[in-house]
Structure 1
Amino acid sequence: MKQLLVLLMVAWLVAGCSNVYSHEDGYRMAIINQGFPVPKEAYEVKPEDCVGEISKAAKYKLKGIGDEEGNPPDEYLQTIEEWGWTDLVDERRGSIHFYEKNGKIMSLNIHQNIFDVFEMTSDKSS
């Protein structure tokens, strides 16, 4: 019985650690903003504390979400825009993207295999 339990736990850990970005898997709503998409296979980890211009934060892990320079998959960026978010290209700061929809500003910070989603306060450029 113990061996079966250990085998099930190992299988669960392997399955939980194998999440890889795939556009075909689809998207779900971010935990901090019901209108902002995140890949379905991404799982939440403890976010950074909210400071300054950030009112809400969520951190996700997902293999293949960003390359070494923090460039996200084009399909993900297209999906964000398909969900009605406008890319604020002039506000970009390196790998940090900003999006606006209905007066809300969201920030997407992509790294290799991890990304942060932030809901910004009304003054994103302080």
Structure 2
Amino acid sequence: MKQLLALLFSTGVLIVAGCSNVYSQEDGYRMAVINQGFPVPKNAYEVKPEDCTDEISKAAKYKLQGIGDQDGNPPAHYLETIEEWGWTELVDERRGTIHFYEKNGKIMSLNIHQDVFDVFEMTSNPES
């Protein structure tokens, strides 16, 4: 009986660990809640977003382990996927961990930190 209980417990732990929200390029991507054309990792889950400002019309915040390192550097595959979805990075507008992308006149910003990231739809050009 103890062996059966130990086996069930071990299986339960493996299932819970296997379903944790950790970045993996194999899991794929889905559309962001605030913009149907901007990708976010499928296993990222939403948390309360930052407040919108005059520059930001929509905001979404996601938690996902492994999305950014200690310096806020995102996985290269995620950045490649954003460009594959038709977004062009506005490299000259980058501000530290904040990346800006443009597609069909829309500007999106992506702000990545360790295990959390924000996606913003901008109301105007990101120039200061």
Normalised by the shorter chain, which TM-score bucket? Answer: 0.7 to 0.9
Aligned to 1:5: none
Change (3 A) 1:16 1:42: farther
Aligned to 1:68: 70
Match of 1:109 among 85, 88, 111: 111
Aligned to 2:31: 29
Aligned to 1:51: 53
Question: Which amino acid in the other structure matches residue 86 of structure 1?
Answer: T
Specify the structure having the higher radius of gyration (Cα): 2
Aligned to 1:3: none
CA distance in 1, matches of 2:59, 2:49: 6
Change (3 A) 1:50 1:64: same
Give the % identical residues: 83
- Structure 2: where are the runs of 5+ without partners? 1-11
CA distance in 2, matches of 1:102, 1:94: 25
CA distance in 2, matches of 1:67, 1:49: 24
Question: Which amino acid in the other structure matches residue 100 of structure 2?
Answer: F
Aligned to 1:123: 125
State the SS of the aligned residue for 1:70: coil
**2:93 and 2:126 in contact (8 A); partners too:** no
Change (3 A) 1:39 1:57: same
The TM-score with structure 2 as length reference comes to 0.85
CA RMSD of the aligned region, Å? 1.9
- Structure 1: where are the runs of 5+ without partners? 1-9
Structure 1 stretches of 4+ with a deviation exceeding 2 A read 14-17
Shift of residue 93, structure 1, vs aligned partner: 0.2
Deviation track 1:27-77 (CA, whole Å, cap 9, x = no partner) reads 000000000000000000000110120110000000000000000000000
